[in-house]
């Protein structure tokens, strides 16, 4: 694999539910190290596509390659990915610090290595002062920052985010965007963000893939999409920035 090999490559992905095509011949290459958003209205197939990349769901047809390796049939745990979903999953009985350390602890990494890694991540997500709290003692935004730190602790090659800020109010969402951008600048992990929020995608992404009715409508930088929408759908969808 060379640097030009896409970190994630989806080719001719099809996924049907009954007669309904949730993914209708989707092909998409996601470059290494970038933050790519999958943007589209509710029901456009974003989560289905992300789940296929994660290995949480199978395709009816098509392939998924991660870091040059065909991962068809490979379990999520063996794909080298970290996830963060809209509804955070944390161990309620563990402190913030122990939650972030969890993935390293079960891998039995040396204690000093775990401590250093967790310190660094808590610092980057602004939770150093909250490390001895329990998840219930954090705000929604702080919990999602903890979830990001936890997902990144094990050095995944790919970070997959499905509407991670969706349940939060606009002010907190805007703040989390800044944290995610900062995190991405520091850690450089290839990140795929699913969102239905045009403003969020335009603000944060290196590249955006626009989905509609299970098909990719356009892929490009925020500027390319905004200045040169390839279809009426893209123009209308991006035009409604709130």
Give the binding range for Mg ion (CB under 5 A) out of 40-48, 135-143, 197-205, 206-214: 40-48
Give whichever of 117 and 196 is closer to ligand ADP, judged by the CB atom: 196
- Asked if residue 217 binds Mg ion (CB under 5 A), the reply is no
From residue 13, give the alpha-carbon distance in Å to each of 3, 72, 174: 24, 12, 32
Please say whether the beta carbons of 179 and 211 come within 8 A.
no
Sequence-distant (6+) residues with CB within 8 A of 82 are 151, 152, 154, 156, 158, 159, 160, 189
Pair type for strands 35-39 and 207-212: parallel
If binding is defined by CB under 5 A, does position 47 make contact with Mg ion?
yes
The number of CA neighbours under 13 Å toward the Cβ of 33 is 6
Q: Considering only the stretches 47-55, 79-87, 152-160, 233-241, report the one whose residues sit in contact with Mg ion under the rule CB under 5 A.
A: 47-55
How far apart, in whole angstroms, are the C-alpha atoms of residue 55 and residue 72?
8
Does 22 engage in binding with ligand ADP (CB under 6 A)? yes
- The interface partner of residue 150, options being ligand ADP, Mg ion, none and the CB cut-off 5 to 8 Å by kind, is none
Single out the residue of 9, 36, 37, 47 in contact with ligand ADP (rule: CB under 6 A): 47
Among 43, 62, 80, 126, contact with ligand ADP (rule: CB under 6 A): 43
Residues near Mg ion, by CB under 5 A? 47
């Amino acid at each position: 694999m060379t640097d030009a090999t896409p970190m994630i490559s989806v080719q001719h992905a099809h996924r049907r539910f009954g007669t309904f095509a949730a993914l209708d011949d989707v092909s998409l290459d996601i470059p290494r190290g970038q933050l790519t958003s999958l943007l589209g209205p509710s029901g456009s197939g974003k989560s289905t596509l992300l789940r296929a990349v994660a290995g949480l769901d199978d395709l009816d047809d098509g392939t998924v390659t991660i870091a040059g390796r065909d991962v068809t049939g490979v379990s999520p745990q063996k794909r080298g990915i970290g996830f963060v979903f809209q509804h955070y999953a944390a161990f309620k009985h563990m402190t913030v610090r122990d939650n972030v350390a969890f993935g390293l602890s079960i891998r039995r990494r040396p204690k000093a290595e775990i401590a250093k890694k967790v310190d660094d991540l808590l610092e980057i997500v602004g939770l150093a002062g909250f490390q001895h709290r329990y998840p219930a003692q954090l705000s929604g935004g702080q919990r999602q920052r903890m979830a990001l730190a936890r997902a990144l602790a094990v050095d995944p090659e790919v970070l997959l985010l499905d509407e991670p800020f969706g349940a939060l109010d606009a002010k907190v969402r805007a703040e989390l965007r800044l944290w995610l951008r900062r995190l991405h600048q520091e850690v450089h992990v290839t990140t795929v963000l699913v969102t239905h929020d045009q403003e969020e995608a335009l603000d944060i992404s290196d590249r955006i893939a626009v989905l509609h009715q299970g098909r990719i409508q356009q892929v490009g930088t925020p500027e390319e999409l905004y200045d040169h929408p390839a279809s009426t759908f893209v123009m209308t969808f991006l035009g409604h920035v709130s």
